[in-house]
Chains A and B, each alone.
Chain A
Amino acid sequence: MASDAHVHAHEESLALREQFDTAAQQKDASTLGMWIFLITEVMFFGGLFLAYTVYRHLYAEVFAVASSSMNVYYGAANTVVLLCSSLTMVLAVRAAQLGQKKAIVLFLILTLILGGVFLGVKAFEWKEKFDEHHIPGPTFHLDGVSSSEQGHAQLFFSLYFAMTGLHALHMVIGAGLLLYLILEARKGIFTAEYNTPVDLIGLYWHFVDIIWIFLFPLLYLIDRHLKR
């Protein structure tokens, strides 16, 4: 495998550009840069998580009723789908580290399909919310909440759509990145020496997974036992 890099000068230049001393230094710099981007994303989502926590504290009863109207089984199934996609993603990264060119493409395609399944289930859930009048706006109505508290219930659903919507947007962007990786991987440019894009997009995909790991219990599970 090492000899491959010497044969193809193009690959070697991708793995070691002239501003870096070693390929390891270049890889560390790329990884660090990606993590710094992910930290800004953590703070970005952090603000929404904070807003959710503050309002859940202020309107605990209403938020419990609203949260209990979520379908836990869709949420749990989607969590499993996303975890499966993280497994296939990490296997794609592993295949790239080992220079297994066909396996990279296969695992990336599987990841893309699972990401699509997640978004499909999400779209179905949102459609249900439309049908049940749980979309914040003039026609909003949530059963089990008094008319004076409907506004607070709308707040829950506003946060729900903002958080799951932003998460879904990240999934769509992730799907675009995966598509790019699949096209590149089919050309066979990722090798044991150079696989940074697979690695970094893998980090992004797992980050989006972690956001959902927190969204699922906060939006679907907590306070379910308080249901009036």
Chain B
Amino acid sequence: MSNDVHQHVDSVTTYVLVFVGLICLTVATTAVAFVDLGPFSVVVALVIACCKMLLVALFFMHVRHSTKLTRLVVLGGLLWLGILLLLTLGDVMSRGWVGVPGR
């Protein structure tokens, strides 16, 4: 019976290492916010946030052990979020590029 449920049990060490990684990234993103990186401050902050998201999703949310269908759903969801963000921002940010008569 119990062998039917295919569970991967990660070690406490794995979880603690992931946690330490998350704390280090939090300290890094806070420290780098006080440095003037110009437009790259947004990029650095978001890259660090995405790394933290990946750590939480892959290890704490067990995506690395999940079924292919679950992974597909997760990726599909992120794809739709990408469409929401990219198409809207593509519109808003490109409005000044083309001169529209009468505006």
Query: Which residues of chain A have a CB within 8 Å of any CB of chain B?
Result: 1-2, 5-6, 12, 15-16, 22-24, 27-28, 31-32, 35-36, 38-39, 42-43, 46-47, 49-50, 53-54, 57-58, 72, 76, 79-80, 83-84, 86-87, 89-91, 94, 97-98, 192-193, 202-203, 206-207, 209-210, 213-214, 216-218, 220-225
Contact, CB under 8 Å: A225 / B41: yes
Pick the contact of A43: B7, B27, B36, B80 (CB < 8 A). B80
Contact, CB under 8 Å: B2 / A225: no
Contact, CB under 8 Å: B6 / A24: yes
Interface string of B62-103 (1 = CB under 8 A from A): 000011011001101110110011001100110000000000
Contact, CB under 8 Å: B92 / A206: no
Q: A28-B67, A35-B74, A221-B30 are in contact. List 9 more A-B contacts (CB 8 A).
A: A27-B7, A36-B73, A39-B80, A76-B27, A87-B19, A209-B56, A213-B52, A216-B29, A222-B42
Rounded to whole angstroms, the CA-CA distance of A98 and B11 in the bound complex is 11
Residues of B within 8 A of A222 (CB): 33, 41-42, 45
Residues of A within 8 A of B57 (CB): 206, 210
Contact, CB under 8 Å: B85 / A46: yes
Contact, CB under 8 Å: B74 / A213: no
Q: Could you tell me the distance in whole angstroms from the C-beta of A195 to the nearest C-beta in chain B?
A: 9
Interface string of B18-46 (1 = CB under 8 A from A): 01001100110110011111000110011
Rounded to whole angstroms, the CA-CA distance of A1 and B81 in the bound complex is 42
Rounded to whole angstroms, the CA-CA distance of A27 and B6 in the bound complex is 9
Contact, CB under 8 Å: A53 / B85: yes
Pick the contact of B1: A6, A76, A84 (CB < 8 A). A6
Contact, CB under 8 Å: A79 / B26: yes
Rounded to whole angstroms, the CA-CA distance of A206 and B52 in the bound complex is 11
Residues of A within 8 A of B45 (CB): 217-218, 221-222
Known: A28-B67, A57-B92. A80 touches B1 (CB 8 A): no
Q: Could you tell me the distance in whole angstroms from the C-beta of B36 to the nearest C-beta in chain A?
A: 4
Interface centre among B19, B60, B76, B92 (most CB of A within 10 A): B60
Known: A97-B9, A221-B33. A47 touches B56 (CB 8 A): no
Q: Which residue of B lies closest to A32 (CB)?
A: B70
